[in-house]
């Protein structure tokens, strides 16, 4: 008779991009709703389960309880066993997945987690996991099925994938990206295991994007600038704005699929956020009030603009609190226009009012609309939302790569560089460096939490340069290279930040070993 396998619903560790392993981590609200949807799917199959087998970990047990609550008859037999517990990840347990990948590299990560000869340091080897799962299938599940019993197995990602390996009699292994809470039959697992090689290549591409994102962004920006110098053809404004908005919408959509809406009401860290925003806004407003210098006005704008929309993505990649980063980014995006309106009320220069309008457009098109779509999907089809996050979340990061290329292309002066642009002044270089260094210094005085460092130290450079364009246009030719330099420093700062965070993480791993 039938055996169905279900990976538990989304856990807090899944949501926060951490390896849970054999640690207990509760289901999120989405995870509970995924379990209810899985129960409805099981009912639709018309199967009366005689036995339910789960691991001993809370997230699997809770999922099984929710799923079976939808059945007309509770299974007569319930089995909780360590044989179905998640793989032991050793020193990587509770670690940020992206930092692990960046610290050990693609080959090291593949060897530890997806190689038939691999073992996470201090963890369970592939062979031991396979043998554990094979024995349970052969000695427990298969005999029950042959006796005519319908069996439901609720367990974990790596265990479900190993059942697929056993059922398909594979002698190699790849990351199958098993989604949370989707009921899978034995035939489904065989089909997943036999997926064409292109599926593995797509998974690998996603891993490479995740591991190398800041470097890819910086490289795309440089390539875009180079193409502008070669082609000498500026993009039409409508084309550029449409492309940028579309790419930002894509990035925001995948990022907001992770968002628990209620976390936006959490007030933890609000004081630090307000203090950091006030300090930055006060410094930026002071510059707008007290100077006519174009470089200093641009620095003031850099301090006034909200965090970049990619800040939550960076926080997730670098081990920060994703939800806190979202809260800080959205809060600063809402507070900044208010500050600018106050500045605009006392100035004749329309620049602050232009920034308010641009902020509103970005909030609506690049943040609000994709967030609403993502949240609607989470509500109506939580399993699909989880599957997109598990399998395709890297597309949100990948969308930023052409965005960086467009930025480099659009901000580089078209045509050959005049001679006066080559000896770029030290003052302008210092200005650009200060625009990124000053927020980091202000945050360092208040707090060293990573998500705050990322949000307050990563200004929305696209918005800044869009609004500052009129200033650059009326400035001397030397300043016209400032936007391209700013973009270069922006992406170089991301590479430097990641290098620092990864080095810190490697030291933690060395200590743990």
> 3-class SS at 7?
strand
Closest C-alpha to 28, from 7, 42, 14: 14
Residue intervals in the chain for CATH 1.20.1530.20: 212-512
Interatomic CA distance for residues 310 and 255, integer angstroms: 9
Q: What's the DSSP call for residue 40?
A: H
One-character DSSP codes across 455-481: HHHSB-HHHHHHHHHHHHHTS-TTGGG
SS3 content of the chain, % helix, strand, coil (to 5): 70, 5, 25
Backbone angles phi, psi at 198, to 5 degrees: -60, -30
Task: Enumerate residues 6+ apart whose C-beta is below 8 A from 78.
Answer: 51, 52, 53, 54, 64
Whole-model pTM? 0.86
Q: What's the DSSP call for residue 280?
A: H
Interatomic CA distance for residues 157 and 153, integer angstroms: 12
Interatomic CA distance for residues 316 and 501, integer angstroms: 12
Residue intervals in the chain for CATH 3.40.50.1240: 3-195
Interatomic CA distance for residues 368 and 252, integer angstroms: 9
Longest dimension (CA), the chain: 85
Q: Which two tokens stand for residue 329?
A: 């980014």
Among the listed residues 51, 86, 210, 428, the single catalytic one is: 86
Task: Say which residue the tokens 């930026």 belong to.
Answer: 284
Residue 440 and residue 453 in contact, taking contact as beta carbons nearer than 8 Å: yes
Task: Say which residue the tokens 């007569």 belong to.
Answer: 76
Task: Enumerate residues 6+ apart whose C-beta is below 8 A from 448.
Answer: none
> 3-class SS at 285?
helix
Interatomic CA distance for residues 157 and 80, integer angstroms: 17
Facing residues of 127 across strands? none
Q: Is 80 annotated in the active site?
A: no
Task: Say which residue the tokens 């994938």 belong to.
Answer: 161
Closest C-alpha to 410, from 250, 245, 241, 247: 241
Q: What is the CA radius of gyration of the chain?
A: 26
Interatomic CA distance for residues 29 and 458, integer angstroms: 30
What is the fold, at CATH topology level, of the domain defined by 3-195? Rossmann fold (3.40.50)
Q: Is 53 annotated in the active site?
A: no
> CATH code for 212-512?
1.20.1530.20
Task: Say which residue the tokens 């959205």 belong to.
Answer: 330
Q: What is the pLDDT of residues 402-445, one digit of tens each?
A: 989 988 888 787 755 554 444 445 565 666 677 667 666 655 54
User: What is the model's pLDDT at position 81?
Assistant: 96
Number of H helices, E strands in the chain: 23, 5
Among the listed residues 8, 36, 53, 451, the single catalytic one is: 8
The C-alpha angle 297, 298, 303, rounded to 5 degrees, equals: 95
Interatomic CA distance for residues 230 and 242, integer angstroms: 23
User: What is the model's pLDDT at position 447?
Assistant: 47
Interatomic CA distance for residues 93 and 74, integer angstroms: 34
Q: Provide the percentage of residues in the chain whose pLDDT is more than 70.
A: 80
For the chain, 513 residues long, give each residue's pLDDT as a single digit of tens.
Answer: 789 999 999 999 998 899 999 999 999 999 999 999 999 999 998 888 999 999 999 999 999 999 999 998 888 899 999 999 999 999 999 999 999 999 999 999 999 998 888 899 999 999 999 999 999 999 999 999 999 999 999 999 999 999 999 999 888 888 888 999 999 999 999 999 888 878 888 889 999 999 999 999 999 999 998 898 888 888 887 788 788 888 888 988 998 888 877 766 666 666 666 666 677 777 777 877 777 776 677 777 777 777 887 888 888 888 888 888 888 787 777 766 666 666 666 655 555 555 566 666 767 777 788 989 999 999 999 999 999 988 899 999 999 999 899 888 887 877 555 544 444 455 656 666 776 676 666 555 444 577 777 887 787 776 676 666 666 555 554 456 667 777 788 888 889 889 888 998 998 888 766
């Amino acid at each position: 008779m039938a055996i169905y396998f279900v990976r538990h619903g989304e856990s807090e560790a899944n949501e926060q991009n951490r390896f849970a392993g054999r640690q207990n981590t509760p289901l999120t609200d989405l995870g509970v709703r995924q379990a209810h949807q899985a129960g409805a799917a099981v009912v639709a199959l018309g199967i009366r389960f005689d036995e339910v087998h789960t691991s001993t970990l809370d997230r699997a047990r809770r999922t099984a309880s929710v799923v079976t609550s939808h059945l007309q008859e509770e299974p007569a037999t319930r089995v909780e066993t360590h044989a179905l517990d998640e793989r032991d990840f050793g020193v990587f347990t509770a670690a940020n997945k992206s930092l692990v990948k960046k610290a050990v590299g693609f080959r090291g990560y593949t060897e530890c987690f997806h190689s038939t000869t691999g073992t996470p340091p201090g963890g369970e080897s592939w062979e031991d996991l396979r043998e554990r799962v094979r024995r349970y299938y052969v000695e427990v599940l298969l005999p029950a099925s042959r006796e005519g019993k319908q069996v439901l197995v609720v367990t974990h990602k790596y265990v479900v994938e190993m059942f697929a390996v056993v059922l398909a009699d594979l002698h190699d292994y790849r990351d199958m990206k098993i989604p949370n809470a989707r009921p899978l039959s034995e035939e489904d697992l065989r089909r997943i295991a036999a997926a064409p090689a292109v599926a593995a290549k797509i998974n690998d591409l996603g891993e490479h994007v995740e591991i190398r994102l800041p470097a890819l962004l910086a490289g795309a920006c440089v390539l875009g600038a180079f193409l502008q110098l070669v082609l000498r053809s500026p993009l039409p404004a409508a084309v550029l704005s449409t492309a940028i908005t579309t790419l930002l919408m894509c990035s925001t959509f995948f990022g907001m699929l992770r968002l628990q809406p209620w976390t936006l009401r959490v007030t933890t860290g609000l004081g630090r956020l307000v203090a950091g925003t006030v300090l930055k806004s006060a410094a930026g407003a002071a510059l707008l009030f007290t100077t006519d210098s174009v470089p200093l006005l641009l620095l003031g704008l850099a301090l006034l603009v909200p965090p970049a929309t990619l800040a939550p993505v960076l926080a997730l990649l670098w081990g920060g609190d994703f939800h806190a980063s979202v809260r800080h980014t959205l809060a600063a995006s809402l507070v900044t226009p208010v500050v600018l309106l106050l500045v605009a009320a006392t100035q004749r220069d329309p620049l602050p009012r232009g920034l308010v309008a641009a902020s509103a457009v970005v909030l609506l098109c690049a943040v609000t609309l994709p967030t609403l779509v993502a949240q609607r999907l989470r509500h109506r089809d939580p399993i699909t939302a989880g599957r997109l996050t598990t399998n395709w979340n890297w597309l949100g990061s990948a969308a930023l790569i052409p965005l960086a290329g467009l930025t480099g292309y659009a901000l580089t002066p078209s045509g050959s560089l005049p001679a006066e642009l080559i000896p770029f002044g030290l003052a302008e270089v210092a200005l650009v460096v200060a625009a990124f260094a000053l927020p980091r210094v202000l945050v360092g005085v208040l707090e060293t939490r990573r998500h705050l460092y990322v949000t307050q130290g990563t200004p929305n450079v696209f918005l800044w340069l869009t609004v500052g364009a009129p200033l650059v246009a009326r400035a001397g030719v030397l300043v016209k290279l400032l936007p391209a330099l700013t973009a270069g420093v922006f992406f170089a700062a991301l590479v430097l930040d990641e290098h620092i965070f990864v080095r810190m993480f490697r030291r933690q791993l060395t200590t743990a070993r």
